[in-house]
Copies of this chain bind each other. A is one copy, B any other.
């Protein structure tokens, strides 16, 4: 009999916290009153238990709940159901952390490539890496090809689809992917350095698989997937079935009461994200430096035998912040700047080169400091 520990923050009056914690334990296990249960084994081994209650600020408590690993069935959908299913609806509950015992953890292989694998593909053993995005959606494939070639000649490591580019009539997947893959191959031959195109994989599971096969056949190595859009279990399946891809996880549709380091760092890593795109502080989203740093830590820190996930801070970043970001995150990072390159319009190549060289230089500066 093994237990996982899930930690929640509950907003509560002091006199109610014990009852609320107990209710949470029932909700996330047997979901019925204890008096309805006659079976001794269920009471002892299946009902979740409140393990600890710690005050964590005015009217807030951190509560550890022990949940029987047996209830998760050892698979991703039911794991999420047990650790943050019904209680996700309680507005006073926030999911902070989860600690999985080794036998359960071993059912999840995590990133197949991780930071080390990405570094090998990019031939970038130590430095910070670069990423940009093809935008805006609505452009025909030929225009995306031009932008992509410019980015590639400018020296960016990974050029991803904007996460809004999917399979629309103006740039259909089956036409776009071969064209952009060809564009990066050509640029790579000219520059004699690796550069990768990462198409968006999205859709229902049947479409996902069809698109993944097409991308694989074209020689694509990096893909962009929003795990919360396609569904965490579908993301897990995709990684299992197409382990040759490097998965860049995108945070779209993730606005739940889950602590960002837990979701974008730990859970996306558990489910197989090789890199995790998340909100950097000071951009279009209201994250603090502490939150952004904690996401990077959760993605990279040692965790059983799961490979580390590469942090990709993003969300309205600018060239002017390159040095600050590399100083903040260190070299195990990929900087993603999209719109702030594209504003250069006809000077896109120069601005891309400036981005790449600023990353190289500051990585060098950091390394020799």
Q: Which residues of A contact B (CB under 8 A)?
A: 23, 27, 29-33, 35-39, 41-42, 45-47, 68, 70-73, 75-78, 80-82, 84-91, 135-139, 143, 162-164, 166-170, 202-208, 226, 229-234, 236-237, 240-241, 251-257, 279, 284-286, 338-340, 342-343, 345
> Judging by beta carbons under 8 Å apart, are A88 and B135 in contact?
no
A163 to B28, CA, bound (A): 10
A343 to B35, CA, bound (A): 6
Given the known A-B contacts A80-B253, A137-B46, are A284 and B27 also in contact in the complex, defined by CB atoms under 8 Å? yes
A236 to B37, CA, bound (A): 35
A41 to B241, CA, bound (A): 38
Contacts of A285 in B (CB 8 A): 89-90
Complex A-B, nearest 7 residue pairs according to Cβ-Cβ distance, in ascending order? A231-B231, A88-B255, A46-B138, A32-B339, A205-B205, A30-B136, A36-B342
A204 to B166, CA, bound (A): 22
Shortest Cβ distance from A15 into chain B, in angstroms? 18
A253 to B76, CA, bound (A): 13
> Judging by beta carbons under 8 Å apart, are B231 and A230 in contact?
yes
In the assembled complex, 11 residue pairs joining A and B whose CB atoms fall closer than 8 Å, in A order, are A31-B135, A36-B345, A37-B136, A76-B203, A81-B202, A85-B164, A86-B252, A87-B255, A203-B233, A205-B237, A256-B256
Shortest Cβ distance from A207 into chain B, in angstroms? 7
> Judging by beta carbons under 8 Å apart, are B237 and A75 in contact?
no
> Judging by beta carbons under 8 Å apart, are A77 and B230 in contact?
yes
> Judging by beta carbons under 8 Å apart, are B42 and A139 in contact?
yes
A38 interface neighbour in B23, B70, B345, Cβ under 8 Å: B345
A81 interface neighbour in B33, B170, B204, B253, Cβ under 8 Å: B253
Contacts of A206 in B (CB 8 A): 237, 241
> Judging by beta carbons under 8 Å apart, are B71 and A138 in contact?
yes
Q: Taking the full assembly, how many copies of this chain does it contain?
A: 2
Name the residue among A46, A89, A135, A340 with the largest chain B CB count within 10 angstroms: A89
A287 to B276, CA, bound (A): 35
Contacts of A36 in B (CB 8 A): 135-136, 339, 342-343, 345
Contacts of A86 in B (CB 8 A): 163, 251-252
> Judging by beta carbons under 8 Å apart, are B81 and A229 in contact?
yes
> Judging by beta carbons under 8 Å apart, are B30 and A135 in contact?
yes
A233 interface neighbour in B72, B90, B234, B345, Cβ under 8 Å: B234
Contacts of A340 in B (CB 8 A): 33
Name the residue among A72, A75, A205 with the largest chain B CB count within 10 angstroms: A205
> Judging by beta carbons under 8 Å apart, are A254 and B89 in contact?
yes
> Judging by beta carbons under 8 Å apart, are A226 and B85 in contact?
yes
> Judging by beta carbons under 8 Å apart, are A203 and B339 in contact?
no
> Judging by beta carbons under 8 Å apart, are B255 and A233 in contact?
no
Residue of B nearest to A36 (CB): B342
> Judging by beta carbons under 8 Å apart, are A33 and B343 in contact?
yes
Shortest Cβ distance from A189 into chain B, in angstroms? 28
